[in-house]
Chain A
Amino acid sequence: MKKRIKEPPYPKVIDVRNLWRDFKERKRKAGFGAALGALFSRKYETKHALKNISLDVYKGEIIGLIGPNGAGKSTLIKILTGVLYPSKGFVKVLNFVPWKDRTKYVHDIGVVFGQKTQLWWDIPAADTYELHRDLYDVPRKEFDDRLNNMIKMLEVEEVIKKPVRQLSLGERMRCELILCLLHNPKIVFLDEPTIGLDIIAKDKIRYFIKDFNKRYKTTFIVTTHDMSDIERLCKRIIIINRGLIIYDGLINDIRKKFANRKIIDCKFSEPLLAREFNFSGCTILRRRKYQLVLELDLSKARIRDLINYLMTKYGADIADIDIKEPPIEEIIKLIYKKK
């Protein structure tokens, strides 16, 4: 296994220490009476979107930032891109304090907010690219080379000539990705870049990011709800929940930590009637007419014993047994629940 990229030749590009961000939230009950009441008196409640976050990012990493909705991922991304002011804490990205030197700092970063297009809606993406070149002051030759290269890789030769409003989501997202990389940023923030895309479009984008990262040692921070994004792209993930970092480390470490679980997928040739199933250390994940999916805790029981139990219980009815590692989604779900 490769070692985590932490030691010198890779300089630290993001340094976050004890970062807090609070929001004031208006409290209001539903209903007409409450709405009228809110005209006269309002109650505010302070919510901590980020609680004491600290993290380091090194050059050339692709980091997956995951967490359930409202966990604080977007808030963190917005602070790191300089759009949002933190309540307290220390942040340094590439020797900039993002929200202070914002207009200078953004030269070095690229941002895609998956839900909000940065392309001009009524004109072709190619025109937005030209504007981008002017805004970021990219030399013509460098710009053309990079653009043509990316156009070829993402297969958007024709797409960028159409007005953006006529593009499909997948086409648009590829155009967005090109836009955020045109000025050769050192760090790229991708906020849900594959949301709503089909598998082929997702694959293209993932492959592209991975390749770009390898070639230019560009650092990527990717938020997503799609675990296959994470598995394909990242070595390291950061899991945020309720404003706290609950995990920061390698995906493989998480796997190992939960490696004492196995998923046993049993298929039957005869209908599995309401027969009792009782085996300590084993929980039923799914029960169908011809299928039983089990999770076994290896610290409590041995696989061999479970198989024996299944054989004696169902014997000849068993058509197939498949023993798997738990998928990363399940592991993440467990981590969310635990904290």
Chain B
Amino acid sequence: MSIFSKISGILKTEFKMMTVYRFEMAITLIVGPLSILVFYFLWQAIYANTGVDIIRGFTFHQLVTYYIVSWFVGILSYTHIEDSLRHEVRHGRIIRDLVKPINYIWLHFFTTIGHRLYAVIIEVIPLFIIAFVFFAVKVNLSYLPLFILSVLFAAILTYLISAIVGMSAFWLIHNRGIIKIKRILLYFISGAVLPLTFFPQWFQNLSFYMPFQYLTFVPINIWLAKYTIPQAFQFLGIQIGWILIFYLLCIFVWKSAIKKVTAVGV
């Protein structure tokens, strides 16, 4: 089948690429556990000083689990699409990808998958060892399949949002500012840095209607079994809805972006 050979070709190539730089790989191995340690000591101090067992519905152990799972979700839903777009549009290199017989959005979607499959082997397995051995993280097996689905959906949604933000390069050429704002904003309102239960009530209500909590907060809560099974299914449904909306938006923006390609002097 032609489409499968295309995908497997992209995945294979991405794998080959990733194995080229071993030092870079070694560094990413350390970064994850390190940032979890930072949060670990920070919250240890906070819990010790306040003297309570539960803050905003989280025990200390749950919160540590929250950060570990948050890191895991972050690894799986990471994408380079906005940077690719920024560089390629600015330097006119986008024309190289445009003369390939595959849609640009899909091409980079599969590159991202290849990239992430590699990350699973390199980053996630060590992370799991640390999580289970040192932090005694527990797995709720009945929620595990739901969690895996929700992480996949979160990754797809992240990719689509990043692609749309990245496409601003076609109009702005320099869109680094917008990408940075998006990153910081998403970091907070997706719940990656702090559970959304720490935010004011009105914001939590608003979050339900925005796509962002479905990127990190919801998948983690599914892992932590904070929802009932039917609730979890409902959230998966909402994720699918957002994916559809952003997919359509993505196509729409791409169609007008592609008319903006100039690549003068290339």
Seen from chain A, the residues whose Cβ lies within 8 Å of a Cβ on chain B are 23, 49, 70, 74-75, 78, 81-85, 102-104, 106-107, 109, 111, 113, 115-118, 120, 122-123, 127-128, 130-131, 133-137, 163
B44 interface hit (Cβ, 8 Å): no
Chain A: minimal CB distance from B114 (Å): 11
Q: Please measure, in the bound complex, the distance between the C-alpha atom of A120 and the C-alpha atom of B114, giving whole angstroms.
A: 15
Residues of A within 8 A of B9 (CB): 130-131, 133-135
Number of chain B interface residues as a range: 20 to 34
Cβ-neighbour of A103 out of B2, B17, B96, B102 (below 8 A): B102
Chain B: minimal CB distance from A35 (Å): 14
Chain B: minimal CB distance from A72 (Å): 11
What residue in chain A is nearest B100 (Cβ atoms)?
Answer: A135
Q: Is the CB of B259 within 8 A of A85?
A: yes
Chain B: minimal CB distance from A179 (Å): 11
Q: Is the CB of B99 within 8 A of A106?
A: yes
Q: Please measure, in the bound complex, the distance between the C-alpha atom of A151 and the C-alpha atom of B258, giving whole angstroms.
A: 35
Known contacts A111-B99, A116-B93, then 13 further A-B pairs from the complex at CB < 8 Å, ordered by chain A residue: A82-B98, A82-B99, A84-B262, A85-B258, A103-B102, A116-B266, A117-B96, A123-B16, A133-B9, A134-B5, A134-B6, A135-B101, A135-B102
Q: Is the CB of A122 within 8 A of B17?
A: yes
A-B contact pairs, 24 of them (CB 8 A): A23-B262, A49-B264, A75-B264, A82-B98, A84-B261, A85-B258, A102-B98, A103-B101, A106-B99, A107-B101, A116-B266, A122-B20, A123-B13, A123-B20, A127-B13, A127-B16, A130-B9, A130-B13, A134-B6, A134-B8, A134-B9, A135-B9, A135-B100, A136-B101
What residue in chain B is nearest A85 (Cβ atoms)?
Answer: B259
Q: Please measure, in the bound complex, the distance between the C-alpha atom of A23 and the C-alpha atom of B261, giving whole angstroms.
A: 11
**Scoring B residues 3 to 14 as 1 if CB is less than 8 Å from chain A, else 0, what string do you get?**
001101110110
Q: Please measure, in the bound complex, the distance between the C-alpha atom of A115 and the C-alpha atom of B116, giving whole angstroms.
A: 31
B140 interface hit (Cβ, 8 Å): no
Q: Is the CB of A74 within 8 A of B96?
A: no
Seen from chain B, the residues whose Cβ lies within 8 Å of a Cβ on chain A are 2, 5-6, 8-10, 12-13, 16-17, 20-21, 92-93, 95-96, 98-103, 258-259, 261-266
Residues of B within 8 A of A137 (CB): 2, 5-6
Residues of B within 8 A of A133 (CB): 9
Given the known A-B contacts A84-B261, A109-B99, A122-B20, are A115 and B13 also in contact in the complex, defined by CB atoms under 8 Å? no
Residues of A within 8 A of B21 (CB): 122
Cβ-neighbour of B95 out of A83, A104, A128, A135 (below 8 A): A83
Chain A: minimal CB distance from B83 (Å): 15
Q: Please measure, in the bound complex, the distance between the C-alpha atom of A318 and the C-alpha atom of B37, giving whole angstroms.
A: 89
Residues of A within 8 A of B13 (CB): 120, 123, 127-128, 130-131
Residues of A within 8 A of B258 (CB): 85
Most buried by A among B17, B101, B103: B101
Q: Please measure, in the bound complex, the distance between the C-alpha atom of A191 and the C-alpha atom of B99, giving whole angstroms.
A: 14
Residues of B within 8 A of A78 (CB): 95, 263
Among all A-B residue pairs, the 3 with the closest Cβ atoms: A134-B9, A137-B2, A131-B13
Residues of B within 8 A of A84 (CB): 261-263
Chain A: minimal CB distance from B122 (Å): 17
Residues of B within 8 A of A109 (CB): 99
What residue in chain A is nearest B92 (Cβ atoms)?
Answer: A116
Residues of A within 8 A of B262 (CB): 23, 84
Chain B: minimal CB distance from A67 (Å): 14
Residues of A within 8 A of B17 (CB): 120, 122-123
Chain B: minimal CB distance from A52 (Å): 20
